[in-house]
A and B are shown apart, each in its own frame.
Chain A
Amino acid sequence: METVVFIISAAIVLTGAVGVIAFRNPVHNALSLVGTLFGVAVLFVAQEAHLLAAVQVIVYAAAIVILFLFVIMLLGVDQADSMREDPLPGQRPLAIVAGLAFVGLLLVVLVFSTDDPVTGGQALLAGFGDRANVEALARVLFSQYVFAFEITALLLTIAVVGAVVLAKRPAAGSAIEAEDEAARTGEEA
């Protein structure tokens, strides 16, 4: 059963990833990204990481992709970037070769290694035991990792403040506004 689930969701994940790279229109890229993220969420469920699957769908597939779509709509959807023009000659073929070489390297290590590729200490943290996934994760998160958890709260606060500062229009009449105006009219001229 898990095999069928794995094969179907792996196909969805990889198709979505190729779509993110290959489509010309940024909206199509974002929608392909949703497919990939849902596929990864299904694979999380297949590995009994139920909380992460829920978070993946709610945070990633919903919130982050919606944010992407907002920005795309805000900036105008017509800016499909041209795959033809190539400012750095030969960079795209080289990039594809590099990507293939990298995946080849990883596959050789993973598939053809004689030993089990998984090494490392067993279970630094306790496993699930007979607890539900959410409860087990909460116990670890709010005991052993509570300090890191508090720091993520700080990080999110800083990110929100930073986003507001960056996205705010400069006040009319300020030096930055005048410079902006000069840059814009200079480009049009």
Chain B
Amino acid sequence: MITAMQVTTTWYLVLGAMLFSLGGTGLLVRRNPLVMFMCVELMLNAVNLTFVAFGRQLGDLGGQVSVFFVLVVAAAEVVVGLALIVAVLRRRPGATADDVAVLKG
């Protein structure tokens, strides 16, 4: 019965919405900067999923090209962000996002 159902674009969009909301909630709930970073990755992946789904629906390769660029920017963001986290946590071990709220050493 399940196999008879057709997977439509809406299914992918719903999954993307749920993944994005989970990532956003995690970003608000957690205080460890590393885990907050992982939640940002979740949100980026949700958007990638919707890009590919829309691209397939509209027969347009632009969606996949966009995902490619999102991947590159995400990689650059992770590299710089983790370097920042290392720099901050080396100075004050065990810092949470609240401890660096004023962006001052």
**B-contacting residues, A8-57, CB 8 Å:** 10, 13-14, 17-18, 20-21, 26, 29-30, 33, 36-37, 40, 43-44, 46-49, 51-52, 55-56
Contact across chains for B13 and A110 when beta carbons are under 8 A apart: yes
Minimum CB–CB distance for B55 against chain A, Å: 8
Contacts of A40 in B (CB 8 A): 45, 48-49
**Min CB gap A105→B, angstroms:** 9
16 pairs, CB–CB < 8 Å, chain A vs chain B? A14-B19, A33-B38, A33-B41, A36-B19, A48-B56, A52-B48, A60-B45, A67-B78, A71-B86, A75-B93, A117-B9, A122-B58, A126-B61, A127-B61, A183-B92, A187-B92
Interface centre among A18, A55, A98, A117 (most CB of B within 10 A): A117
By a beta-carbon cutoff of 8 Å, the part of chain A in contact with chain B is 1-4, 6-7, 10, 13-14, 17-18, 20-21, 26, 29-30, 33, 36-37, 40, 43-44, 46-49, 51-52, 55-56, 59-60, 63-64, 67-68, 71-72, 74-76, 79-81, 87-88, 91-92, 95-96, 98-100, 102-103, 106-107, 110-111, 117-118, 120-128, 133, 136-137, 140-141, 145, 148, 152, 155-156, 158-160, 162-164, 166-167, 179-180, 183-184, 187
Using known A-B contacts A96-B29, A137-B68, A159-B80, determine if residue A3 contacts B62 with beta carbons closer than 8 Å: no
Residues A110 and B14 in contact, CB atoms below 8 Å apart? yes
Q: Helix, strand, loop or mixed for chain B's interface?
A: helix
Question: How many residues from B make CB contacts under 8 Å with A?
Answer: 77
Chain B positions 20 through 32: 1 when the CB is less than 8 Å from some CB of chain A, otherwise 0: 1111111011111
Residues of A within 8 A of B93 (CB): 75-76, 79
The contact of B98 among A21, A87, A180, by CB within 8 Å, is: A87
A74 and B92 alpha carbons, distance in the complex (Å): 14
Q: Are B12 and A47 in contact (CB under 8 A)?
A: yes
Q: Across the interface, which residues of A come within 8 angstroms of B34, CB to CB?
A: 26, 29, 68, 71-72, 75
Give CA–CA (A63, B72) in the complex, Å. Answer: 12
Q: Is the CB of B29 within 8 A of A92?
A: yes
Residues A59 and B64 in contact in the complex (CB < 8 Å), given A71-B82, A183-B105: no
The interface residues of chain A lying within 8 Å CB-to-CB of B28 are: 91-92, 95, 98-99
Q: Chain B: which residue is nearest A127 at the CB level? A: B59
| Closest 4 pairs between A and B when the two form their complex, measured CB to CB | A99-B25, A95-B28, A159-B76, A106-B17
Q: A49 contacts which of B9, B25, B67, B85 (Cβ < 8 Å)?
A: B67
Note all chain B residues with C-beta closer than 8 A to A75.
Answer: 34, 85-86, 89, 93
Cβ contact within 8 Å between A17 and B83: no
Instruction: Tell me if A36 and B29 are in contact (CB < 8 A).
Output: no
